A and B are shown apart, each in its own frame.
Chain A
Amino acid sequence: MLDGAAWQRHKGPLIVQLQYIWGSVVAINKIVEARADAVSGVKDGSTVLISGFGAAGVPTDLIHALLDQGARDLTVVSNNAGTGDRGLAALLKEGRVRRIVCSYPRSAGSVAFDELYAAGKIELELVPQGTLSERMRAAGAGIPAFYTPTSVGTQLAEGKEVREIDGREYVLEYALKGDVALVQAEKADRWGNLVYNKSARNFGPVMATAADLTIVEARQIVELGEIDPEIVVTPGVFVDRVFHVPAVAAAA
């Protein structure tokens, strides 16, 4: 076993890869150095949760890594449907997305989505925003379904089970789980503890809990302990891989 002092000596910046050290001690290091490794193993037909609200909190580099990786026939879960020609819009334009689950696809510059939609080349599942986030929260918490008053009596509740509880009607909604989540964060450490920046946090923390494989794009990588444990937003247990995308590169 490693005593405390030896561990401190061993702990350097960005400890390389998961490794076995003396006996049973395992260094948990979720940091992935190569862009291609960050998204390796994503299969065709996957459901991919993508963080962001408008342009804030979108993991643009990971989306482009996924574009290069080649997975297709994807179901993308994202609040909006991308704008311009980068990020989700690029994935849409390349025809990688069969189906999109979102609350508000339309926005200034959502040209790629709008064209596919008008041409009938993409399936849209429109979900109320709170139901969308709650379905992922449920998936992350092991809850298979829940009742909500949102959408009762509307087209979006058609075909769904409705149940009266204490005199009010509720719609049954099912958990929404991802095979993969792509999340943008401000800071991460090698255990995958995360903090976010302002309203770029949005869907990141809930999506991180709701996928089998959670991949994070972080602006800064810090040492274990540098993030005050009182302010960790996403504890590392929810995170599988962390890829460093400095702010300058992300802006380019």
Chain B
Amino acid sequence: MAMEAAVQDNAAKKMTRNQVAWRAANEIPDGSYVNLGIGLPTTCANFMPEDREIVLHSENGILGVGPAPEPGTEDPELINASKDPITLVPGGSFFVHSDAFVMIRGGHIDLALLGAFEISEKGDLANWTTENPKFPPGVGGAMDLAAGAKQVWVLTDHVTRKGAPKIVNSCSYPLTAKQVVTKIFTDLAVIDVTDKGLVVREMAEGLTLAGLQELTEPELTLAPDCGILSAPVL
């Protein structure tokens, strides 16, 4: 597969899913109110930087989401968007679903971290349906977050399981929203979506821009200070 070939050619050090979550979590500015979407983004709660105060929001009526509980202390009535058990930090609160979305839709959430099927060069996001008639679509809060959060970042594998680019010129799946994604964290790179196109801020060790470009449809440019994508072993 293209992905494996390119990675092998470049001997790139791919990030694990936990490391992608860690990397995104460590980009979040101090003092932010941040919604974590279903899937990989909800795991960011386990990797928040300790030197910052960041309040995590969950669409099911929680502010102050903490990391996963110790085994044996899970509470089935304390869960996140992925329906996984969580903890609540001191200062946290519970509220009705409609207020959770007043926060989202009313512009009170600084940042939403979401998963994606595809992201376009312009920051269009597709993450709710593959249009498979046998496989029901699921939109959840994605369209609300895309429309209402001040910023949207995406966490995703760089390519599909079949090795096809997920960062594309134009989304082939139905859109969640147009021109909303500003930053993309993958297992191979950190990419900013800018007016001048996609700018690579960090790349996995051993990967070249040409190698990354093979796995990405739109043209990439390298940030002048492009660094190495790295994270602790997690």
Contact = CB atoms under 8 A, between A and B. Distances in A.
A205 B61 CA distance: 11
A55 B101 contact: no
Given A196-B94, A199-B60, A131 B77 contact: no
Nearest to A55: B76
B97 interface: yes
A128 interface: yes
A204 interface: yes
Contact of A136 (B98, B139, B144, B177): B98
Nearest to B138: A104
A199 B77 contact: yes
Nearest to B129: A155
Nearest to B126: A154
B137 interface: yes
Contacts of A155: 129, 174-175
A154 B101 contact: no
Given A56-B60, A153-B177, A107 B83 contact: yes
Contacts of B136: 81, 105-106, 113-114, 117, 124
Contact of B178 (A57, A117, A153, A203): A153
A56 B101 contact: no
Q: Of residues A54, A108, A133, A134, which shows the largest number of chain B Cβ atoms within 10 Å of its Cβ? A: A133
Interface in B71-107: 75-79, 83, 88, 94-98, 100-101, 104-105
Interface in B48-75: 58-62, 75
A152 B97 contact: no
Interface string A132-148: 01101100000000001
A233 B66 CA distance: 24
B161 interface: no
B79 A53 contact: yes
B105 A134 contact: yes
A129 B96 contact: no
B76 A56 contact: yes
B80 to A, nearest CB: 8
Q: Of residues B75, B100, B133, B144, which shows the largest number of chain A Cβ atoms within 10 Å of its Cβ? A: B144
Nearest to A205: B96
Contacts of B95: 201
B131 to A, nearest CB: 9
A126 B104 CA distance: 19
A76 interface: no
Given A126-B137, A199-B62, A133 B178 contact: no
B163 interface: no
Q: Of residues B100, B136, B138, which shows the largest number of chain A Cβ atoms within 10 Å of its Cβ? A: B136
Given A129-B139, A206-B97, A200 B174 contact: no
B96 A201 contact: yes
Interface in B123-147: 129, 133-144, 147
A202 interface: yes
A34 interface: no
B77 A197 contact: yes
A105 B138 CA distance: 6
A130 B105 contact: yes
B19 interface: no
A200 B104 contact: no
A118 interface: yes
Given A54-B79, A151-B147, 8 more contacts: A103-B139, A129-B139, A130-B105, A130-B144, A133-B98, A150-B105, A153-B178, A205-B98
